[in-house]
Amino acid sequence: MKILPCLSIWILAQCAYTLAETTDTTEGTDTTSTTTTTTSDTTSGYIVVTSETSVAVPTGDYITYTTTEIVSSTELNATATSNATTSTTATDVVLVGTGSSSNSTATSSSTSATNTQACNGYTEFCERKYSNITMVTAHNSPFVKKNSVAANQDYKVTQQLNDGIRMVSFEAHYYEDDIYLCHTSCELLNMGTLEAYLTTVTKWIKKNPYDVVTILIVNSDYVSPSNFSAPIQNSGLVDYAYEPWKIPMSLDDWPTLSDMILTGKRAVIFMDYEADQAEYPYLLDEFSQMWETPFSPLNRSFPCTVQRPTGISTTQANNRMYMANHNLNLEIVFDDIDILIPDSAQINVTNAVSGYGSLGVMANNCRSDWDRPPNFLLVDYYNDGNFAGSVFEVAADMNNVTYSGDCCGTSSDAVKVNSIITLSLTIAVLTTLLSYLV
């Protein structure tokens, strides 16, 4: 009889690892009280608790700059006045850099040349500032694994970039004297080293010379940024890394995509906590230059309010880029275990162009609230929606361009379907075992 309690405890521990979707809670969290609604699913026998607020919010130390630092006046002048033109003899395309700061549909202001080369997939983007484009972000990009509820995407990063993803985000953990990409814990889901992942990203960047890619590193263990320099350098990404001319960069300080492409600095690398731009100028502090809407949302209304960094004014928010977190989570409460997993069952609505809880509605609400669209739309399973590529349709609408509709990879629902089955079976086993203890 003593075996059952021990077995139950072991399975509960494994369940916590296997089912966990508390993506960034290892960063350090401030658990808050929430108003919850509890329902019982008589089919599976487990309790589902939904909430109108996030269960936990990462509470790392945010960097606050009281003054700005001009790093390079030379780059400032080049960014502000660039009107360079380049052409490739192989395809006879022309790329024009103008330094335009338009907040709407960009048009060429050059009389000497007309741009014929797309930047990030659209010719209209070439003359727009980096901070004036809405990009789709693959939340937890590396976490692709069948039959794991810790997965967030169906396709690996090369396919993500091929399909139109232009920002990738991921958790990074200090593990076995290196930086690994692990979901919550390296015992739960370990997708290998940061260096290996960045090497793959760099290969794609090298093969696609007219694209600007953004990387958002979640420094889950709050380790020194020095731990990230070797992976960035060894992968070759440092050769493409953009180094701002000013710390921090305000909304209007960013260069145009064509300027970044012409200089070859086409990878923007952000880190959420512990960045030191003075020491590592290519590793940008996220929250002094970008804010985010509520983290790990459970609320299907997806409010477009500032959650991180805390305490910034409306004026400050208006002067920074922002990311709309639109990855809906499901909270599971069983006994004393409280975990979050991606709400895959509603992904076709969550990633849809329209309808309550959709990405399209949130993006439009954000545009209305802040008089400008989000810079980044963070989503799970980007390839799913009310149609393949619906998230890119939303981004195109925010950018006032026409989406080509060419998406996405090879169709597969195995990850999500099997994850839901695995979840139900695990809960059922726990219920049976725990009944012996009552």
Give the pLDDT of the chain (438 residues) as one tens digit per residue: 444 333 333 334 344 444 433 333 333 344 443 333 333 433 333 333 333 333 456 768 899 888 888 887 555 334 433 344 444 434 456 787 654 433 333 333 344 567 789 999 999 999 999 999 999 999 999 999 988 878 999 999 999 999 999 999 999 999 999 999 998 889 889 999 999 999 999 999 999 999 999 999 999 999 999 999 999 999 999 999 999 999 999 999 999 999 999 999 999 999 999 999 999 999 999 999 999 999 888 889 999 999 999 999 999 999 999 999 999 998 877 777 667 788 989 999 999 999 999 999 999 999 999 999 999 999 999 999 999 999 999 999 999 999 988 899 864 444 454 445 555 544 544 454 445 444
* Per-residue pLDDT at 323: 98
Query: What's the confidence (pLDDT) of residue 350?
Result: 97
In a domain, 427, yes or no: yes
Domain presence at residue 129: no
Residue in the block written with tokens 């209305």: 368
Helix 359-370 / helix 390-399 crossing angle, nearest 10 deg: 20
Retrieve residue 85's tokens. 């033109």
Q: Catalytic residue at 139? A: yes
Give the pLDDT score at 337.
66
Residue 98 covered by a domain: no
Locate 341 and state its tokens. 């997993």
Which residues are within 8 A (CB) of 30 and not within 5 positions of it... i.e. 6 or more apart? 56, 57, 59
d(CA 154, CA 177): 29
* 203 in any annotated domain: yes
CATH number (domain holding residue 297): 3.20.20
Would 24 be classed as within a structural domain? yes
Q: Where do we find the tokens 């993006």?
A: 363
Pick the catalytic residue from 129, 139, 326, 416: 139
| Helix pair 194-207, 226-234: axis angle to 10 deg | 40
Examine residue 94 and state whether it is found in any structural domain, yes or no.
no
Cβ–Cβ contacts within 10 Å for residue 309, how many? 21
User: Could you tell me if residue 127 is inside a domain?
Assistant: no
- 59 φ, ψ to 5°? -130, 50
The count of domains in the chain is 1
Please, is 420 exposed, middle or buried when counting C-beta atoms within 10 Å of its C-beta (0-12, 13-18, 19+)?
Answer: middle
pLDDT at 73: 58
User: Which candidate in 128, 166, 173, 183 is catalytic?
Assistant: 183
Question: What domain range is 228 assigned to?
Answer: 3-72+135-435
Instruction: Judge whether 109 lies within some domain.
Output: no
What is the model's pLDDT at position 14? 43
Which residues, including other chains, have CB under 8 Å from residue 259's CB and lie 6 or more apart? 78, 79, 82, 84, 97, 99
CA 272, distance to chain mean position in Å, is 11
Is 308 in contact with 57 (CB distance < 8 Å)?
yes
- State yes or no: is 173 an active-site residue: no
Please state, in angstroms and rounded to a whole number, the distance separating the CA atoms of residues 425 and 142.
26
Residue 177 tokens read as 């004297």
Number of residues assigned to the chain:
438
